[in-house]
Amino acid sequence: MRRLVPSLLLLLLVALPVAARAAATFTVEARTVPDEKAVFATVESRNVVPARTRIGGTVTDLKVQDGDHVTAGQVLATVHDEKLQLQITALNAEIAGLQSTLAQARIDLGRAEALAHSGAVSREQLDRARTAVQVATSALNARIAQRSVTEQQMTEGAVLAPIAGRVLTVPVTDGTVVLQGDPVATVAEQNYVLRLLVPERHALHLKPGATVRLDGKELGETGPAFGTVTLVYPQITAGQVRADATTPGIGTYFVGERIRVWVPAGQRQAIVVPAGFVFTRFGQDYVRIRQKDGTVNDVPVQRGLPLPTPAMPDGLQILAGLNAGEVLVRP
């Protein structure tokens, strides 16, 4: 019966699909990996825009508070100015008087035109009547336009969100007196970025399009997360270079929150294998190597730091014990 066991195992291996058997082995090779340095990044918004008042007055009906999500054009508060309503009332009275003046001027013009046919009035009197109608019409149109301006000012009492995003601060309350241009709220655009501060000696290796690595646990993920550098600022401040990176999953973060990020600081040769091929026994790390004759041996190795990449998320550096060309077998 014991002699049949190796034969049965061999038959099972032959029956396995080719893809499954290929996934169970890994060929060791020296890879060019980035020499990463850990820095801290701050979650920042691309644009922080204040929502300002367009008229002066008193804040009424404040609709938002810190942390609210708003859309572009949403009404955040209303500024009320009682003088505008009084101006409209005064303009309505003036318009009513000018309408009466225009009606009387038209009546006088019609009477003058009727008498002009019979020669009872002179040409000068007829021209005066026509001029009076034109003056009354112009004065009426001017007051109507002025009333439209005042009504537009009243509609501009609504403070609108300039962009879509999250409200960071609301420095006013209901009843606050504001002037034209005062901020009612500051809105951070929801398109967040990671603002990196990299020492200047590592900045030469930081270019737009470079990949940065984040700890997936900080983003609520099980594996590592990766981002892309989008902008490197050309100015060095206090020995540091600023850069912006984008990565999915930071839209729910707090603005100003600090995250640890690994940035490229050069390249080096290293042996990286999937972590699943390394196992620990009695405190020592081992891998299984397939020899040329088909036998499998357990070889001790020295484990290094994790080196995850987009192609190998569970990458693990091996410092000693492996050579390029060796074939590992998954335990």
What local confidence, expressed as pLDDT, does residue 217 receive?
65
Return the pLDDT at 177. 92
All structural domains of the chain, each given as residue ranges with its CATH number in brackets, are 4-32+269-329 (2.40.420.20), 36-47+189-266 (2.40.30.170), 50-81+162-188 (2.40.50.100), 82-156 (1.10.287)
Positive/negative CA dihedral, 234, 237, 238, 243: negative
Whole-angstrom distance, CA of residue 42 vs CA of residue 39:
10
- How long a stretch of residues is the chain? 331
Going residue by residue through the chain, which has 331 residues, state the pLDDT in tens, using 9 for 90 and above: 444 434 444 444 444 343 334 358 888 888 887 777 888 888 888 888 999 999 989 998 899 998 888 999 999 999 988 888 888 889 999 999 999 988 988 888 888 877 777 777 777 787 888 898 899 899 999 999 999 988 888 888 899 999 998 898 999 999 999 999 999 999 988 778 888 888 888 777 788 888 888 876 666 666 677 888 988 888 888 888 889 888 877 766 677 788 888 888 777 888 889 888 999 998 899 999 988 888 888 889 998 888 887 778 888 888 888 888 888 888 8
pLDDT value of position 252: 61
Tokens representing 85 are: 């309503």
Classify burial at 203, counting beta carbons within 10 Å of its beta carbon; exposed 0-12, middle 13-18, buried 19 or more: buried
Beta 165-169 vs 75-80: how paired, if at all? unpaired
What pLDDT score was predicted for residue 62?
Answer: 92
239 Ramachandran zone, left/alpha/beta (phi>0; psi -120 to 50): left
Q: What phi and psi, each to the nearest 5 degrees, are found at residue 295?
A: -75, 160
Contact (CB, 8 A) for 318 and 272: yes
The DSSP code sequence of 94-105 is HHHHHHHHHHHH
Check residue 224 and give its pLDDT: 73
**The pLDDT value given to residue 219:** 60
DSSP for 192-213 reads EEEEEEEEGGGGGG--TT-EEE
* pLDDT computed for residue 109 by the predictor: 83
Distance CA 142, CA 139 (A): 5
